[in-house]
Chain A
Amino acid sequence: MKGNLAALMVMLGKAPQKPKQITPPAQAIHLQKRTKKITKAEIEFIKNELKAVEAGKYRKKWRNRRWVSIITINLLFTLSFWLDIQLFEGSIIASRVLGFHMADIYSALQVVLAYKIMLINLVIGTVTVFIIWLLLGGRAFCSWVCPYHLLAEIAETIHLKLAAKKWVTEHSFHRGVRTVFFIAFSLLAFGLGYSLFNSINPVGMISRALVYGPGIAMVWILILFLFEVFYSRRAWCRYVCPMGLTYGLTGALSPLQITYNLSSCHHETACHIVCEVPHVLECVKKGRAGNVEVDVGADCTLCGACVDVCPTSSLRFEIKGLSHIS
């Protein structure tokens, strides 16, 4: 399960811990890996692999699929309005998809806290979205649907290129601040009676710009973009977005997940380099896996970057209880 208590605490900001217990089969593999000599050829292979990954040269199969998904879904919103085909009416924040109400869970929470009334249409929309992402892995919304995610990925690519040339340095923040944002925005909405988060939410702004045309709000998007390029990699998604945290909580019980297999892993942690939320991949560090198969944590966005980058297929998509999908 993605969402055991430890994984939830890590998602809320706690540093990942060593597993308290390691199962005997996992212990056996750990022991075998400790005693086995690594050959020069293997070291060379890993060195080359890490170099390529750091330079951004690796398979992009899942990334390409995701980009098709993000672009298609957001384009459907735009075309529905422009061509008046009424498939995806509204924006990412709230819509009617083929006539069914949908509403982003955290945006709806903001409105309900501020307005103190929840109409049946909003209940239907929020519950629908909750069920969808309960089934589809929670934060998969972020990497497969969110229009800001695509922009942030572009900012990230530029950031990494500049960082490689030492023109910019990465500044990290404490991840727990996202939980503080979640609580602070919720309290403010309740106390002030205004859904403040919705007024600075770049996801809503971009989605509205795509459907109804861009405006001054794009200045805020530009500020965030530049901040992520020059100061802190993926800052909004990693440290701020309460929408992402909400989807993380939603997906905690999801059957769709990334599964890690200890057996053939080289522990070179190339996956950490590409991951938006590397704290969920603590298990791939040498000696850290508590079991032969480990469910990757609830904060995982199911972006598939680790699956793309792993040379030993130790990380893969899985529907818990069903056969593997590739």
Chain B
Amino acid sequence: MLSKSSPRYKASRRRFLRTVGLFIGVMGTSLATLLPVIAKFIPPRLRPPGAIDETDFLASCIKCGQCVQVCPVEAIFLAELDEGMGVGVPYINARLQACDFSCDAVQCILACPTGSLSSKINKKEEVRMGLARVAKPEACLAKLGLGFKGQARGANFTGLLRYAEIDRWNPIPIRDHPYDLELCDLCVRECPIEGAITLQDIDGNGKLPVIHKSCVGCGVCEMICPVEPAVIVIDERKIWEEV
């Protein structure tokens, strides 16, 4: 036994205390990453197609970014450290670049090694990312009886969309595909899911887009909407039964 006044005892005691400090410091930092999740500082995020329940999604994502790599329209981004535990977890900003299912086979789901994006989904119609909602009906061009001419999101917008009639395999910039419409129906026209959205008469008081049960929440309508801010938005993770 070392005597309590010996330098070796003191040095080893100091080292022990330092080690405890290191342990508390590192564990504390890791636990602190839970705060933004628990306190819900994080904005609700639109997750890539096939994302499982949010808690399980955060638990299972290994943060590798393979989903980012396979996306042909580069819609997927990885979250920053300000999202704490969610750092490195993928999300989509639909207004900037929606998932337009250009890949057909839901590539991100195939790429996911952990099942955070559920491999039970085989085609785009089975995806449920959220639901589209007409947030500002009064601003809708169709409601106002207006047409639309020109680039849907302006000349500086870099978002991509696949126009099957132009190139079946490669999505092109939306700005390279100007429109000339008598009545704006961009959200209906470009929706990649059949029957998810239609333009309907509202009591003889103009037309509005109406969202149907088959909507998968991909966000193409939100991306293409020429009104600023978008008339139509995606409610993340919302499913039809709740409406």
Interface residues of A (CB under 8 A from B): 80-81, 86, 89-91, 93-96, 101, 103, 107-108, 110-111, 114-115, 117, 119, 121-122, 125, 171-174, 177, 180-181, 184-185, 188, 192-200, 204-205, 208, 211-212, 215-217, 219-220, 235, 239-240
A114 and B59: CB pair below 8 A?
A: yes
Q: Which residue of A lies closest to B87 (CB)?
A: A199
Q: How far is the CA of A114 from the CA of B61 in the complex (A)?
A: 10
Asked whether B85 is an interface residue with its Cβ less than 8 Å from the other chain, the reply is yes
Given A119-B115, A216-B81, A216-B82; A107-B29 close (CB under 8 Å):
no
Closest Cβ of chain B to A184, distance in Å, is 6
Identify which of residues 61-76 in chain B touch chain A, using a CB-to-CB cut-off of 8 Å: 61-66, 68-70
Looking at the complex, which of B12-20, B154-162, B163-171 is the stretch in contact with chain A?
A: B12-20
Q: How far is the CA of A134 from the CA of B66 in the complex (A)?
A: 25
Question: What are 26 A-B pairs with beta-carbon distances under 8 A?
Answer: A81-B68, A91-B63, A91-B65, A93-B62, A93-B63, A111-B62, A115-B114, A117-B60, A119-B114, A121-B113, A173-B18, A174-B16, A174-B19, A181-B23, A185-B30, A188-B30, A193-B55, A194-B34, A196-B30, A196-B33, A196-B34, A196-B85, A199-B63, A208-B88, A216-B81, A217-B87
How many positions in chain B have a CB within 8 Å of any CB in the partner chain?
Answer: 44
With a 10 A CB-CB cut-off, give which of B56, B62, B63, B65 has the most chain A CB atoms.
B62
Closest Cβ of chain B to A73, distance in Å, is 15
Proximity string of chain B (92-129) to chain A, C-beta cutoff 8 Å, 1 when within and 0 when not: 00000000000000000001111100010000000000
Given A89-B70, A172-B15, A177-B22; A198-B81 close (CB under 8 Å):
no
Asked whether B31 is an interface residue with its Cβ less than 8 Å from the other chain, the reply is yes
7 closest A-B pairs by CB? A94-B64, A115-B60, A114-B59, A90-B66, A217-B81, A119-B115, A199-B33
Given A119-B115, A122-B113; A108-B62 close (CB under 8 Å):
yes
Q: Which residue of A lies closest to B16 (CB)?
A: A174
B64 and A217: CB pair below 8 A?
A: no
B81 and A94: CB pair below 8 A?
A: no
Q: How far is the CA of A192 from the CA of B62 in the complex (A)?
A: 16
B119 neighbours in A (Cβ, 8 Å): 119
Q: How far is the CA of A86 from the CA of B69 in the complex (A)?
A: 9
B62 and A177: CB pair below 8 A?
A: no
A91 neighbours in B (Cβ, 8 Å): 63-65
B111 neighbours in A (Cβ, 8 Å): 89-90, 96
Given A180-B23, A199-B30; A215-B80 close (CB under 8 Å):
yes
A93 neighbours in B (Cβ, 8 Å): 62-64
